[in-house]
Structure 1
Amino acid sequence: MASSTSVLRQHNNLLFTFTSKYTNSLFFFNSYRDSSLNYVMKPLASTSSSSLFSSPFQCSRPLVRLTRVTTAPVEFVPPAPDFDFHKEIARLKDLKSKLDNCTNLKDRIRVIDSDSRVNSFFYSHKNSFSRVLDTLHLDKYEVFLLKCVVAAGQQHVFGDVCTEFDTTRSSLKSAFYALAEMIDNWDVNEGIGLRGVNGYGLGIEEFEALRSMLKIIAEVERFYDCIGGIIGYQIIVLELLAQSTFERPCLSHNSNNSLKRDIADIHPPNVLDLSQDLEYASQAAIWGIEGLPNMGEIYPLGGSADRLGLVDSNSGECLPAAMLPYCGRTLLEGLIRDLQAREYLYFKLYGKQCITPVAIMTSAAKRNHEHVTSLCEELRWFGRGRSKFKLFEQPLVPAVSAEDGQWLAGRPFKPVCKPGGHGVIWKLAYNEGVFQWFHDHGRRGATVRQVSNVVAATDVTLLALAGIGLRQGKKLGFASCKRNAGATEGINVLIEKKNLEGKWTCGISCIEYTEFDKFGMTDTPLSSYRTNFLPIQTFYMLIYPLLSLLLQVMMRLVCLEWCLM
């Protein structure tokens, strides 16, 4: 197959080339102007290179990969015909503003009770949910969380527990209804009934579902505290939906009133092609080896990986991506094995042992956290010691309808929840003390590895990424590769935008493949200048040297998950 070379020219005399053969090309993103962002693009190797030593850890779990996507049963919630995004956003913002001014839980409860929707739902004589609450003995904070759900317009997740009842029903008839309901639940609950004497209560299954939902929404309230908790989360959801529905941003200076900024133009980032300078790439890799004792590793493994359709053949249980077998080992084992190879190379060159601390982000999706923990324990923490690992669990967040932002629900108290995306890793790592943990281990930075990228370190790219970042004191870097048309991956771009003060700013962002149409891009190899950003694909290897500086930056961030939407 003949090789072909293309040249992509952009504003500000940015110029880079890429060569396509059987493998993708390798690029390095330099800092743009005063920015210290550093990027590397890497080829996908056609074959796996041999490792420096063999790993004794093998995968013996019987697995089967299905092509279908596993999904939870979803209850259809029809959108309100007169739903007004902007009116609802204004209402929630006013409520959020009042809650932000509260200094204690008592004041927050008073404010949430003043909301008309909450007042109508909880204190209406036609609604039985207030009577249900009397039987549950929830604490004040848990009741506050439920009221936040109602204030956000999501009371439908309570199911038919909150349906209206006939207040004119006689005491005798109420007693008979209660007796019949107790008999119905007697066998199901093995003779133990949770329902109250008036029939207003929950069965064991419903009660357990409520406790599970309370845990989820408590995590949402805590994690998204920087944007207003549950109420703030719903505001952002509605703003993004309103933006998508009514104010689709494009490259023609259209105003984005929801996010309060204009996107003026999109450019390919300035890059350095390491494949064109092998001597420099080798030197950078040596710097990476030398700096190995200063680096940690972060593995984001919390995704649900629905597209894999991975299922345990014995139990039929859906499995996370970390458990996918590759070359006789799980993907997680492959990452650790690769890390051990780099550590062994350091030992052979310098005669010193180096054990890199590893932080792993998990989630509750598909019992992800339990599976990862169990695998590490079975393999005795890969012979590295428990103290060299830190597992931190990302919160699940409600999945919403694109029609009107309603939370999807399978059953009463069972909102459909998914991991909040890999973007939560930075705030979560800060909240869970991961950066401080690296600092305590004497690490200046960390490399982030995507679990599904099995060939990311088959050449010098990973070491070069770390080496250049440490050597030049960079704060952020990406490793990327050429993107094939039709690939379900995003691209790295340089975005120009105007902030509220009217100042122009530039920053690196990632545009997901699902957003190409929104930004006027076509997913074809021979696209026009405006849409020809396809050679730049996020390779999901990031480096964050100078963790002490990153800690200071994190203190000023509001919420990274939404910052580049």
Structure 2
Amino acid sequence: MGEIYPLGGAGDRLGLVDEVTGQCLPVAMLPYCGRTLLEGLIRDLQAREFLYFKTFGKQEIMPVAIMTSAAKKNHELVSSLCESKGWFGRGKSNFFLFEQPLIPAVAAEDGHWLISEPLVPILKPGGHGVIWKLAFDRGVFDWFYKKGRKAAIVRQISNPIAATDVTLLALTGVGHHHNKKFGFASCERKVGAAEGVNVLVERKGKHGWDYSVTCIEYTEFNKLGIPDVPVSPGSMQAQYPANTNVLYVDLPSVERIASCRSSRSLPGMILNLKKPIVYEDYHGVTHRTYAGRVECTMQNVADLMINTFSSQLKPSQHGCLDTFVVYNKRRKVTSSAKKQRKRTDFLLHQTPDGSFLDVIRNAHELLSSCHIEMPNMESVECYLEHGPPFIAILHPAIGPLWNIVQQKITGGQLTRGSELQLEISELFWKDVQLEGSLLVLAENVVGSLQDTENEEKILFYGKGCGKCRLERVTIQNKGVDWNSKQNVYWQHKVSRLESLTIILHGHSEFEAQDVHLQGSVTFEVPDGFRMRVTQGDDGIKCDLHPLPSGSQTFGSWQWRYTLQDGGYVQLDMQTTVEN
């Protein structure tokens, strides 16, 4: 498998600017939950690779193709970010960046070209459907093949939650196991939402009955006579599920379409006139208007993946098609951050605020399933006025499957207003009571960087991970300053009055058992050491010792993963002889 990220969108509706330079920024650079959206996608990918390593004992680095554009220096900024992060420990050769062309915009009101000065049109990215033709022209398909990849997952940059729990693994599994050509991850959709839908198309053709699962954009509903009605009277759920642009792609099948010298290589061509554009003309006058451009949509390549049968299929036979769809709960599939929320607006759809609320809702469901007593979720109005009832940001490598998280984290309580940040994968949590802020920050979350022959630092999974064990621990501190006007919760930009912070340098371990930790405390464990905190006669007792000999690679303990029938992953703790 490989991954494909279309990042070329301008993201005008986000109004994102650099706080220092004032430069307009593309969507990929949006600071979300403490990191850019692009870093979040790579983090999700590393979590699945770490899961593969722990389950099968093999190092795997999936190649990533990224479509950028010239809009708002998108290509330059994405390239610079990858360089500054050392290509995320994946090696530069495992990335392929290719640039999306820009096309002129036309005014929705009168059809005139928008211009910034005479003969200089306003240019915008022309939709992500060009990705397949562009990938063929730039050699992206051949690049994937040389790396032994025949299929890929496609994720859009504006959807940070698509990797939640089983979503991407299920999409990949169905596509690969059943030799499918194209697949969609779908979910419920609200009536009237500005989202496309996934449908099964059945047509009587010249040679029989044609079938395919595809997408219809919301802008085309009226044209095609598709009613946007509820699934049942009084319901807000639409009768057709949402297209989320979380896709499974069989690369040779898509390449055959992309290589043809016709309009077939640019699927789903539409003229979308519903997007607002702000621009300055040659008189220095700022204009705000609805405008559009000819776009094509990457998901509509499925229109050309048709199966023909001599007779109509029964519903039970639809699973034999080359195209498919998998379903999950909406907040495990999509919650996009596409537009800035107005301060007086309570509508959260497609805003970073709304997306982060879904992150919190997912955390509430997950941690509750770990038998942790959680504060109640509150109304949207309360969230916007006072912030979320708690903050919980867990590194996806703790799972990413929730059944794995449920074995690493069991019991305890988070009180209202608490903050939990777990930047770690090797974690054992049992009956922890948290009132305030707890930050566990491992330098080596899923492995360690090691030099290679070509002088690149590559992340080797499972080696030298930071580890943390918390058993029957009570943590009390003042935590987040919920009254601070500087807090931006969806950025995880918060002011703290106090916190318990555990910093794990390199290959180090922290253990705490049967202790009550109060106030603002920082435990910092140097590389190669294990710190053990217990309750002494005169207060907290803290012991620091080198890691046991012979455990320099995996430490004094580690989780062993075993894949069982039905896809369940069983965890068992392995300890060294000297532990």
Output the TM-score relative to the length of structure 2: 0.43
Higher strand share: 2
Larger RCO (alpha carbons 8 Å, 6+ apart)? 1
Which structure features the higher share of helix residues?
1
Structure-1-length-normalised TM-score: 0.44
